[in-house]
Amino acid sequence: MKNHQTVGVSASRLDGPDKATGRALYTADIKMDGILEISLVRSPVAHALLKNIGGPKMPEGCYLFTAKDLDKNYIPSIFSEQPVLASDHIRYQGEAVAVVAAPTREQADKLASQVKLDLDVLKTVDSIEDALDEKFPKLFENGNICSSFHSDKGNVEEAFKACHLVLEGCFSTPVQIHGFMEPEAALCYIDDSGKLAIVSSTQNAYSDLYTAAVATGRDPKAITSRAATVGGGFGGKDGNTAQVYAALVTHLTGKPSRFVYTREENIRWGMKRHASQTYAKVGFSKDGHIVAADCSMLLDGGAYALLGPSVLRLGMEHFTGAYSIPNVRLDGKLLYTNHAPASAMRGFGAPQAAMAFENIINRAAAKLGINPLEIRRRNAIHKGQAGPMGGENEHEIALEEALDKFAESDFYKEMMNNPQSGCGYGIAVGMMSSGLGKHVPDTCHVVIEKCGDRYTVRTSLVDIGQGSQTVLAQIAAQALGVDICAIDMQMGDVKDNEDSGSTAASRSTFVCGNAILDAARQIKEGKTHANGICAFPEAQGEAIHTYFSFMVQGAKVKVDPESGAVDILWMHSTIDTGHVINPTLLRGQVFGGVAMSLGMTLSEQIRYSDGITMENSLANYILPTAMDVGKLTCEYVEKDEGTGPFGAKGMAELPTVAVAPAVTTAVCSLYPGLEINRIPIDRTEILKARSIL
Amino acid sequence: MSYNLHIPTTLEEALEIKRRTGGTYLAAGTVLLVNHRHQEDLIALEKIKGLSEIEDGPVHVKIGALCTFSQLESSPVIRKIPALWQASYHTAGPQIRNRATIGGNIGCFSPASDSVTSLVALDSEVELYDGSFHTVRIEDLKSVKDAIITAIIVPKRFSVSVFEKVGKRNAMSVSVINMAMASDKDKVRLAVGCVDRQVVYCKKTSEILSKHPADMKKAQESLLSEIHPINDRWGNVEYKNTVAVNLLNKLSKEVLL
């Protein structure tokens, strides 16, 4: 057999032709006779007690269901306190109160609008400040603190006394949406074997199955679930969106049903990135060593926890994690407010933390007269050193190598030697874990079946558009010693697959890649059917995560003097993610992640007024276009991680982390005295700084 | 979403349907169909002949109301009217510009229509048909009632003109504020968008710029008295006033050489 080299090659995306020609079927594309379309009755106010639901009489073939029709009224998650349908206490504007199903969406919308809600309106908890204020209502019996985090290493107070320079600052970041092209969608029908079959735009088909089992009371064995083609997830489809409503309607009527979010529903009531308020106080020695860091983070969790407690923990862990610091105090709170629930979004708390910490490091570098790369080199974390909560980093870290490589880049040479007049430059470091973290089951199962000279590779993990099926097929082909054309990838179906958890946490390449290696080894030993498995190794000590990828981000900007608008000219990224399986897909992830965080840095935000979003369409929620992201370049250092598949580490979320502090530093470099602590950048701050010059 | 779509082929027929049904005229639909909720009758104008030409006359350019922004952007005639050309290619993005029409942009009566700001500065007139043809200066046009916008007449007397727009991103952006300035031998005209219920022709400031082009301080004060921006999602009053003054300074340097 010829030895094909498929790992490290930019193999074409396996899903490319179907997507380019329109053959790929997204949930909304699937045709089904007699399908009911779903519309939700949503609360018009952000906070109220629900006294009664007065429905219009439903015409024949149309249905109205409320909490009374549910077997159990909760959506399984970390705290499982979110109802499928609010029955007594409404906690955000747009919260689902009832489900209407009709032959057309237009008809369902019309009937839903005729449902009368008898409400006692309560005062809205409309911000982090409100949530912490005793005078505001409690959203739950135990108050508005959903989750807390605290960790102490060393003694920060004592350490600050001996520091040469101590800097501090308060920072804030906005609510952001995922901005995927395909909105949330699910359909459901009774299949030939009598099972309730869910097909959806999802990051986790098994979780949809269990959620439906709770709501309908069905035995999980009487439910099946799979992902359709998914048009982007970014964390926003990690958990229930539309699935449970379609499952409920089909369970109760026996008829197929579908629920597709409108873009307005997506923007207002889809999951969100947590808005943050962070504080950091950092002490430096004269030569730029970080001696102590005191960091706190408050997150606007919205009305329900969802994955928020994990976001808080990860954000805290990553706050100082790229550096070896002897004294670290971390303190965080996730707060309940009357906003749409926030949950996972690419970066998972790390971009919020980096906005604070990386800006402070840049300010310290300027004050101490140390080059911004050099100050990071002096503090960079290495393999074998303890993380912020203690717990040794056991795996490969190439942050120092990435800093060195960045120093050789054209970007850095221009920044240092030949800065373009009127342009500002900034750099920042980003760090991102992979894997679900301590105490969360994190195992991937793969089946490989050999049939002649072809191999089918199956897993319940989903390719949500990031290209994992191509990368995983490359790993399988390389491991089996065959051409990639001999591999058939089948992903995202619970049928004949064990539960491999969510497509999230930058974990697919590592955990599924290793499971493929396990199965491929058995096939090469002569089996024709092999079950591969990989359990994500757990972190040591107090640490939450085991593996981290790193990057250095450069930003070159100019500012329009009339409007204060920031124009991005060049974003250069140097990535440490172990061995690169597919360079083109890596660049795609990096450029997409950079663009995503440029949005949050420059223009994207959801603003609430009395619990109602000001943004409701893509005409006023301002995503960046190709004209707004400048030149994008990327390079990588390849330090193989011994335990990763062919030396790879996860990296999907990493590129979102360091963009905001790189850009804000670049802008501030143009205006002495200007410090930007808030994103999206307020142009008024820039114009004021300019007028003082 | 359902409606009765009428497709007349003559202006008379369109007007008759409008009077009979009370429907809404539909040009390209880039605004109307996005915001469409419950209009019962839509009267598509696209099959009416003669509304899509650009005529280059001796003293003015006559632009058919159904000319698209792509058409304007690529027209050598419009290229010689910089403010209008700039407004045309800064409107929305390529797909929208392939569809959206200048007449529709005027008919929306939005204070943020980029083309309208430049047309006001260029002292343009709008040609209407309501059984007969007549023209109205664009800054005096408050509504069209049943009339159909058929053409825009842009004088060629301005030797210099310039349009500038500030949005929240570099393409596909609603203006936060926009401004156009045009100058002939002895007169300057200044128009500002997004600072009132409709695009503002700044009469007093235009006079100051015409008579005392060196006195920028006076022009700035006058501008601030003629515009009335509000706090909205795009920016607050302080920001819009600051940017208006900054744009005035910039455009003046380009126009009042």
Last residue of a domain, one of A511, A535, A559: A535
Enumerate the β-bridge partners of residue B23: none
Confirm if A447 and A530 have CB atoms less than 8 A apart: yes
Give the three-class secondary structure for A93.
coil
Residues of B in contact with A563 (CB under 8 A): 166, 176, 243, 246
Q: Is B256 on the interface with A (CB under 8 A)?
A: no
Instruction: Please give the helix or strand (H or E) that residue A257 lies within, else none.
Output: strand A257-260
Rounded Cα distance between A559 and A663, Å, is: 11
Q: Is B226 on the interface with A (CB under 8 A)?
A: no
Does residue A606 lie within any of the structural domains? yes
pLDDT digits (tens, 9 = 90+) for A121-161: 999 999 999 999 999 999 999 999 999 999 999 999 999 99
Nearest to A529 by CA among A451, A443, A477, A473: A451
Confirm if A258 and A27 have CB atoms less than 8 A apart: yes
Does residue A116 lie within any of the structural domains? yes
**One domain, residues A421 and A360:** yes
Confirm if A508 and A472 have CB atoms less than 8 A apart: yes
Confirm if B43 and B19 have CB atoms less than 8 A apart: no
Report the CATH number that the domain containing residue A598 is assigned in CATH.
3.30.365.10
Nearest to B169 among A564, A614, A628 (CB): A628
Q: Is B176 on the interface with A (CB under 8 A)?
A: yes
**One domain, residues A411 and A355:** yes
Does residue A328 lie within any of the structural domains? yes
**One domain, residues A498 and A556:** no
Q: Is B24 on the interface with A (CB under 8 A)?
A: no
What is the model's pLDDT at position A391?
Answer: 85
**One domain, residues A197 and A286:** no
3-state secondary structure string across chain B: CCCEEECCCCHHHHHHHHHHHCCEEECCCCCHHHHCCCCCEEEECCCCCCCCCEEECCCEEEEECCCEHHHHHCCHHHHCCHHHHHHHHHCCCHHHHHHCEHHHHHHCCCCCCHHHHHHHHCCCEEEEECCCEEEEEHHHCCCCCCCEEEEEEEECCCCEEEEEEEECCCCCCCEEEEEEEEECCCCEEEEEECCCCCCEECHHHHHHHHHCCCCHHHHHHHHHHHCCCCCECCECHHHHHHHHHHHHHHHHHHHCC
The distance of Cα A538 from the centroid of its chain, to the nearest Å, equals 21
Is residue A540 very low, low, confident or very high in pLDDT (cuts 50, 70, 90)?
confident
Nearest C-alpha in A relative to B92: A619
**One domain, residues A419 and A487:** no
What residues 594-623 of chain A have any CB closer than 8 A to a CB of chain B? Answer: 602-603, 607, 614-615, 619-620, 622
**One domain, residues A555 and A516:** no
Q: CB-side exposure of A138: number of CA atoms within 13 Å?
A: 7
pLDDT digits (tens, 9 = 90+) for A415-462: 999 999 999 999 999 999 999 999 899 999 999 999 999 999 999 999
Check CB contact under 8 Å for B246 and A562. yes
Look up residue B34 and give its amino acid: V
Decide if pLDDT at A99 tops 70. Answer: yes
Confirm if A335 and A312 have CB atoms less than 8 A apart: no
Residues of A in contact with B93 (CB under 8 A): 625
Confirm if A638 and A579 have CB atoms less than 8 A apart: yes
What is the model's pLDDT at position B37?
Answer: 67
Decide if pLDDT at A627 tops 70. Answer: yes
Nearest to B210 by CA among B154, B164, B255: B255
Residue ranges in chain B whose pLDDT is less than 50: none
Give the three-class secondary structure for A608.
strand
Check CB contact under 8 Å for A684 and B173. no
What is the model's pLDDT at position B93?
Answer: 92
Pinpoint the residues of chain B covered by CATH 3.30.390.50. Answer: 166-255
Report the CATH number that the domain containing residue A55 is assigned in CATH.
3.90.1170.50
Residues of B in contact with A564 (CB under 8 A): 243
Pinpoint the residues of chain B covered by CATH 3.30.465.10. Answer: 54-155
Q: Is B253 on the interface with A (CB under 8 A)?
A: no
pLDDT digits (tens, 9 = 90+) for A241-267: 999 999 999 999 999 999 999 999 999
Rounded Cα distance between A124 and A608, Å, is: 11
Does residue A73 lie within any of the structural domains? yes
Is residue A693 very low, low, confident or very high in pLDDT (cuts 50, 70, 90)?
low
Does residue A475 lie within any of the structural domains? yes
Q: Is B166 on the interface with A (CB under 8 A)?
A: yes
**One domain, residues A382 and A430:** yes
Length of chain A, in residues: 693
- The residue written with tokens 């991103």 in the block is B169
What dihedral angle (degrees, nearest 10) is formed by the CA atoms of A390, A391, A395, A398?
A: 0
Residues of A in contact with B1 (CB under 8 A): 106
Mean pLDDT of chain A: 97
Q: Is B194 on the interface with A (CB under 8 A)?
A: no
Does residue A153 lie within any of the structural domains? no
Rounded Cα distance between A190 and A197, Å, is: 6
Residue B177 Cα, gap to closest chain A Cα (Å): 10
pLDDT digits (tens, 9 = 90+) for A331-349: 999 999 999 999 999 999 9
Residues of B in contact with A631 (CB under 8 A): none
Rounded Cα distance between A55 and A167, Å, is: 59
What does pTM read for this prediction?
0.97
Mean pLDDT, residues A401-413 taken together? 98
Residues of B in contact with A683 (CB under 8 A): 235, 239
What is the model's pLDDT at position A1?
Answer: 44
The distance of Cα A266 from the centroid of its chain, to the nearest Å, equals 16
Length of chain B, in residues: 257
Question: A646 is in which domain, residue-wise?
Answer: 275-437+542-692
**One domain, residues A430 and A550:** yes
What dihedral angle (degrees, nearest 10) is formed by the CA atoms of B116, B118, B124, B127?
A: -30
Rounded Cα distance between B139 and B142, Å, is: 8
**One domain, residues A464 and A596:** no
Nearest to A26 by CA among A179, A178, A182: A182
Rounded Cα distance between A242 and A239, Å, is: 10
- Percent of chain A having pLDDT more than 70? 99
Mean pLDDT, residues A658-683 taken together? 97
The tally of domains found in chain A comes to 3
**One domain, residues A385 and A466:** no
Tokens of A124: 């809205």
Instruction: Please give the helix or strand (H or E) that residue A210 lies within, else none.
Output: helix A205-216
Instruction: Please give the helix or strand (H or E) that residue A295 lies within, else none.
Output: strand A290-302
Residue A137: asked if its preceding bond is cis (omega within 30°), the reply is no
3-state secondary structure string across A447-516: EEEEECCEEEEEECCCCCCCCHHHHHHHHHHHHHCCCHHHEEEEECECCCCCCCCCCCCCCHHHHHHHHH
**B253 contacts: CB under 8 Å, gap ≥ 6:** none
**A418 contacts: CB under 8 Å, gap ≥ 6:** none
Quote helix, strand, coil % in chain A, to nearest 5. 30, 30, 45
Nearest to B168 among A607, A614, A622 (CB): A622
Nearest C-alpha in B relative to A624: B169
Alpha-carbon distances of A259 from A130, A177, A633, rounded to whole Å: 34, 20, 39
Does residue A148 lie within any of the structural domains? no
**One domain, residues A525 and A614:** no
Residue A650 Cα, gap to closest chain B Cα (Å): 32
Instruction: Report the CATH architecture of B54-155.
Output: 2-Layer Sandwich (3.30)
Does residue A161 lie within any of the structural domains? no
What is the model's pLDDT at position A180?
Answer: 98
For residue A231, the 8-state DSSP code is: -
Mean pLDDT, residues A59-73 taken together? 98
Rounded Cα distance between A431 and A399, Å, is: 9
**One domain, residues A604 and A661:** yes
Last residue of a domain, one of A232, A260, A288: A260
What residues 106-135 of chain A have any CB closer than 8 A to a CB of chain B? Answer: 106
What dihedral angle (degrees, nearest 10) is formed by the CA atoms of B175, B176, B180, B181?
A: -170
Residue B31 Cα, gap to closest chain A Cα (Å): 11
Check CB contact under 8 Å for B171 and A615. no
pLDDT digits (tens, 9 = 90+) for B36-68: 666 689 999 999 999 999 999 999 999 999 999
For B166-255, CATH gives 3.30.390.50
What residues 509-568 of chain A have any CB closer than 8 A to a CB of chain B? Answer: 560-565, 567
Check CB contact under 8 Å for A687 and B239. yes
